[in-house]
Amino acid sequence: MIETLLPLQEGGIPVADDPVILAFGSIYLLIVVLIGVWGYLQTNSTDDFLITGKSVGTWVLAMTAFSVIQSGFGFVGGPELVFEFGTTALWIFFTAPLGFLITWVVLAKRMRVLADIRHTLTLADGMYVRYESDWVRGLTGLAVAVGVIAYLATNLAALQFVMRAIFGIPVIWGLFGGAFILLLYSVLGGMIAGVWTDFIQAITMIIGAVFVFAYALSFGGGMEGISRNLATADPTLISPFGGLGTPTAAIFVAIGWWILFSIGTAGQPHLITKFYMSRNLTILKWGAPIAAFSYAISSLIAFSAGLSMRAQVEAGAIEQTFSASEVGPVFVLEFTPSIVAALILAALLAAIMSTSDSFLNIGAAAISRDIPRAMGRPITDDKTELRVTQGALTGLTLLSTGVVYYSETLVGILGTIGWGFFAAAFVPIAVLGLNWKGATKEGAIAAIVGGLVVNILYSAVPMAAEVAGFGGFAAGVLALYPFSEGFPVGTVALLVAMILFIGVSIATQDRAGNELPADLHALLER
């Protein structure tokens, strides 16, 4: 019985068995834990734990923003999607850098000023200030908690592969051991530890990505050789839209991915709450181009490793003894020098830890701060609130570990589900709400509920049904999906939420209680 419950096992993941890689991995884990201890010593309040006491500068903010979006997805989920769908998957990586620019323009200054006007520590705090509604606060907290579980599971799923590759332990112990270290690090250090780990791993990831790109192109025979091998096996693998479905629907599917990963960036709470941490407004100026350029460079890992490995498999040069989720670790371990592999894998450990820390912080704050306040039962003592927040970290870690343990869903798919949850719930109420005086609390409530319903119905329910063994039910639910199979559910949910937000806000603008708070007029006119 136990055998049937185990998650993805060793499969084709090679074990490094290399003292250089083992040393790098061990040292990096030690550094991460020490940063966590240092963060613990710097944390005296919930403000410190959640937003670092507004102490972050330009480069640290930009690198943190880039790294929390890239994280384990870029090394495991990214190569996996490129390996599966070829150049079609590059829609994600070409649009995500644009998302940083959009997010900075529409939200950066407004979120930072909001933190000064009122005492805001979480996204739900900010949305309560904007709409003066406990329902909006509570639903925002609920949406954060739900999305965090899927997103945190993405990083834990990546972590189990990286732990296996570096230390040679079974995947199952990589999952449990990695989750334990993550929990220890997060409970100790909070966001102070997270942003500095983000900064270190971001620099490491950028350097490593350049080396991986060069080795991957050489391994695949250059872009000409890669393209030829892929085109011979399946022309859709080098088509901009080929992997997205029929030619008629392909362009709409591509637009759907573009919307989700560019505009949807502005709805990611682990990114936009970083603006609360900014030391002042002036340092926000150069954050967007730094973050966008850094993300683009780091994406070279997914682009080159995924395409090269698929091209060599199709050409018969290597045998596919690995799953799509294992493409990144397999390439780095087997086809790059030890020092490059050590650099990348060590950076990935830090990336996963720091990004997961961000998810755990916003999710735990939703449970300990946002939802209780929405229910009229706030924790008034700051020390108690801090301890309850740290306790909530444990529950979220255990729950997300369980999702990975029982689900064989691809890492990349888990990531897109989490992204879609956040985009649909928060782009309308944050982006439109902080740029449009006519937004109302009724519109915000309708948007959050509508976005959650679409995502839960067409993403979470089918996945849970498959895991529970009800494949027929999952197929029946998906049969009701009104769009082609490749069209992202998150985009549908986002569009539904935006339509509901605008329509309901217009219909309820004249209701009593929907006046814009007096101290926010200047904010929305910036």
Of 464-468, 470-474, 497-501, which gets the smallest average pLDDT?
A: 464-468
Q: Count other C-beta atoms under 10 Å from residue 280's C-beta.
A: 10
Average confidence score pLDDT of the chain: 79
CA gap 512, 491 in Å, rounded: 33
Q: For residues 169 and 84, is the Cβ–Cβ distance under 8 A?
A: no
CB-count exposure of residue 510 (10 Å: 0-12, 13-18, 19+)? exposed
- DSSP letters of 54-83? S-B-HHHHHHHHHHHHHHHIIIIIHHHHHH
Q: Which two tokens stand for residue 142?
A: 């609920």
353 three-state secondary structure: helix
Q: For residues 492 and 483, is the Cβ–Cβ distance under 8 A?
A: yes
Which one of 96-100, 443-447, 470-474 scores highest in mean pLDDT? Answer: 443-447
pLDDT of residue 8: 42
Displacement of CA 254 from its chain's centroid (Å): 20
CA-based nearest residue to 163, from 336, 361, 401: 401
What mean pLDDT comes out for the span 440-457? 92
CA gap 194, 56 in Å, rounded: 12
Torsion of CA 187, 189, 193, 194, to 10 degrees: 20
CA gap 386, 51 in Å, rounded: 13
Q: Which two tokens stand for residue 13?
A: 């993941």
CA gap 229, 220 in Å, rounded: 9
Q: Count other C-beta atoms under 10 Å from residue 33's C-beta.
A: 17
pLDDT of residue 1: 32
Of 157-166, 194-203, 240-249, 513-522, which gets the smallest average pLDDT?
A: 240-249
pLDDT per position as a tens digit, 263-290: 988 998 888 888 888 777 776 778 888 8
Q: For residues 189 and 31, is the Cβ–Cβ distance under 8 A?
A: no
Any idea which architecture 2-41+58-524 has in CATH? Up-down Bundle (1.20)
What mean pLDDT comes out for the span 304-326? 84
Q: Which two tokens stand for residue 147?
A: 């999305």
DSSP state of 278: B
Domain residue limits, the chain:
2-41+58-524
CA gap 143, 419 in Å, rounded: 12
Q: For residues 142 and 466, is the Cβ–Cβ distance under 8 A?
A: no
pLDDT of residue 510: 82
Q: For residues 236 and 243, is the Cβ–Cβ distance under 8 A?
A: yes
pLDDT of residue 6: 41
214 three-state secondary structure: helix
Of 150-164, 215-229, 411-425, which gets the smallest average pLDDT?
A: 411-425
DSSP state of 284: G
pLDDT of residue 7: 42
Query: Does 467 score more than 80 pLDDT?
Result: no
Task: Tell whether pTM > 0.75.
Answer: yes
Q: For residues 495 and 263, is the Cβ–Cβ distance under 8 A?
A: no
